[in-house]
Amino acid sequence: MGRKEFYWYYKLHATTAIFPTRSDGKLSKYKHLGKAGSQTYIDAIEQITARTRIEALDRSIEALRQGLKDLVEETSKYNKE
């Protein structure tokens, strides 16, 4: 009889090949992370979390810039009247 155990592993999947392979250094769309809790998995989660925070900060900065631009435009209209 065959084995009836399940093995869960994680991998990153990109839309384009960006991950270097171990054997020949070519690029791949996939990066094997192994089981949850492995050091590679933990490092990837930390990197994804950092990227998510940076993207949120970028969105906040852009919203503040747009708000400042709108405020300056409204203020200049008010001062002309």
In the chain, the percentage of residues whose pLDDT exceeds 70 is 96
pLDDT at 22: 84
pLDDT at 2: 67
Q: What is the pTM of this model?
A: 0.69
* 66 backbone φψ class: left, alpha, beta (φ>0; ψ -120 to 50): alpha
Distance CA 26, CA 17 (A): 9
- For 34, phi then psi, to 5°, come to 85, -155
The confidence band for 81, taking pLDDT boundaries of 50, 70 and 90, is: low
